[in-house]
Structure 1
Amino acid sequence: MPLQLPSTETEIDAFLAAFESKTLPKERWTHAAHVLVGACYVHEHGEAAATVRMRERVSAYNVAVGGENTASSGYHETITVFWIKLLALLHERYEGLGRGAFLRLALAEYGDRRDTLREFYDFDVVGSEEARRLWIAPTARQLD
């Protein structure tokens, strides 16, 4: 059974607070949770600031739950930037939506589409040490 994501403004705020304070249980940090947090940051701060926030907070969260950010595990720059860019494009298309409506849209579009990267990259982006360290733009299809 999939874990329930927050749906009310109060639940969303509590989820973000738990993630940012590094108290969110590791099992709740799913792909859909990444999308939810990224969508919140894009909605509230815009693409550039959302990218910085995700970079810093995912890296810190990984360490807090016992992980490491190394050349082969933990934080992944290309995946993070890719998803923030994708969410920013969605936000641009649906400008004016409130946070809750935008999060529901983002989760409906991408919450269960973890493999979306394969549509945009013609190499194993997940396994690439270079892509883990540095942003690599899509190679198979442009973001638009």
Structure 2
Amino acid sequence: MVIGASSAKTTEEATDTPTDRSAAPQLRRRLGRADLRAVPEARRALRELLRHWGRPGCSEIAELLTSELVTNALIHTDRDAVLTATVSSRGLHVEVRDFAGRRPRLHAPSDDDGTHGRGLILVQSLADAWGVRAHGVGKAVWFDLGADAA
């Protein structure tokens, strides 16, 4: 089962078969367990990838959503994670894979939550599509931004 959707399209993926993005420029980073210093580094690396792609001024939404996924993987699991971002003529695909079986839950935060609990709501609101794909060990939470938005 996959959670995730957008107003533009709903995507369901139940297997571990990623789409072929091998020819496109790609960022791949291993994120150390509970190392929140990886969050600003992921933003900088993504900004650089998008700059080389020719869209240096359009990275704000991509950076925000990437930092939400990276932060979630690092604070809600006690394992490493892997960030992959791929650009193509269709847009940007970002996924953060972790090695914990617990699936993220989309919920409306209460006033008592402070600044927590809003990450997936941001992803749902701002991404063209998003979801969670199960892997043999763990899962990948991903989002897509079209070429005009990325």
Q: TM-score range by the shorter chain?
A: 0.3 to 0.5
Higher helix share: 1
| TM-score, length of structure 2 as denominator length | 0.37
Higher relative contact order (CA 8 A, sep 6+): 2
Structure with bigger strand share is 2
Task: Give the TM-score, by structure 1 length.
Answer: 0.39
